[in-house]
Amino acid sequence: MVKVIQEVEPINFEQAVGNFKWDNAMDEKMVALDANATWELVVLLEDKKAIGCKWMYKVKHNADRFVSRYKARLVAKGYAQTYGIDYEETYSLVTKMTTVRAIIAMVVAKGWSLHQMDVKNVFFHGDLQQEMYMEQPPGYVDQTHPNLVCRLKKSLYSLKQTLRAWSDKIGQYLVTSGFQTSNVDFSLYVKKTDHGIIVIIIYVDELIIIGDSDVNVFDLKKLLKQKFEMKDLGKLRYFLGIEVI
């Protein structure tokens, strides 16, 4: 009998710092944030406020339950935002479970291709419309300018407008690429091509791609990876608690 040891996920920065696995995860995230020009350091004006931020940690597992990677996420304290000042309406593309089940049933009946993609750093792809300020991240305060704050140029996890910014961007891209939105589920997009039909289901930062032609599926994957930073997960294996065999 093999004993499975559950990895303990830190609940705050103090618990994580000093552990090379989590230090590496945070360093990797900061490199990505910097490369994306997520913020710039500025002096906070008297009539402005800066919200806080914190680190969150997650051990990611494969379908076989082995650890695939250690993930650190910088999260803005969005609960401190003020409606009408820091953000307006909020929403995100979240597919219905009835849609997922119906699509899987159709794929089984017709023998279509069923693939999955994951959007890396989904907040990178949303542009902020409001002026937002945030404190410097724990453990990564610029020692030469410790009193400056981050003026956000890109959205960040837990900002109330983050998922709306992403939903707007991916939706606009798909529509301009020839897809039509379903009237019964706004996270379902359909396109007819010379090679057949291709369908996309969106659940926040996860995409299911279905098509009656492998050419369509692979062409769309290629286009999405050129436009957004995405990870190709291959054929669908597991989605929203449903194991697909």
Taking Cα atoms as reference points, which of 50, 58, 75, 57 lies closest to residue 14?
Answer: 57
> Which residues have a Cβ under 8 Å from the Cβ of 114 and sit 6 or more positions away?
104, 107, 208, 209, 210, 235, 236, 244
Amino acid (one-letter) located at 163 = L
Residue 169: its pLDDT value, please? Answer: 80
112 inside domain: yes
Residue 8, both tokens: 């303990």
7 inside domain: no
pTM beyond 0.85: the answer is: no
2 inside domain: no
* Tokens 């989605």 found at: 239
**Cβ(174)–Cβ(228) under 8 Å?**
no
Gap between the Cα atoms of 60 and 36, Å rounded: 23
Residue 81: its pLDDT value, please? Answer: 39
Please give the residue range of the domain that contains residue 99.
13-239
Residue 26: its pLDDT value, please? Answer: 95
Taking Cα atoms as reference points, which of 74, 97, 72 lies closest to residue 16?
Answer: 72
Gap between the Cα atoms of 198 and 222, Å rounded: 14
Mean pLDDT (10-residue bins), the chain, 245 residues: 60 92 94 87 88 87 74 74 42 72 88 85 62 90 94 75 73 89 87 86 85 86 86 82 77
166 inside domain: yes
6 inside domain: no
245 inside domain: no
Q: H helices within the chain, ranges in order?
A: 13-16, 20-35, 97-110, 162-176, 214-227
